[in-house]
Amino acid sequence: MQFLTLLARHPDKVGAPVPPELREAEFETVRRYYADRFVQQIWLRGDAAGACMIVEAASSEEVAEKLDALPLARAGFLETHLIAPLLPYSGFAPRT
């Protein structure tokens, strides 16, 4: 099942510099999630510090577990604001 996720910088860490080694660990983890086909698509947010991802998982609990394991989340820089299950758009279905 696919999920839309929305992550944002923790309010207590807005403006705080992210140590380079932590940023690199985050990049490496997301690359691994992409190689493992958990992350399908990812964007940086244009409205705030954070990211938006389309991910593939068996449950929202699995999604939360993987997002909580991100280095920036573990270090308190990032928090998950939304994990929403996605359903197919029915407008493309054949008409009867």
Q: Along the 96 residues of the chain, how does pLDDT read in single tens digits?
A: 999 999 999 998 888 899 999 999 999 999 999 999 999 999 999 998 899 999 999 999 999 999 999 999 999 999 999 999 999 998 988 887
Q: What is the largest CA-CA distance in the chain?
A: 57
DSSP string, 10-33: -GGGTTPPPPHHHHHHHHHHHHHH
Query: What's the confidence (pLDDT) of residue 66?
Result: 98
Domains of the chain: 2-86 (3.30.70.1060)
Q: Could you tell me whether strands 50-56 and 2-9 are parallel, antiparallel, or unpaired per DSSP bridges? A: antiparallel
Query: What's the confidence (pLDDT) of residue 9?
Result: 94
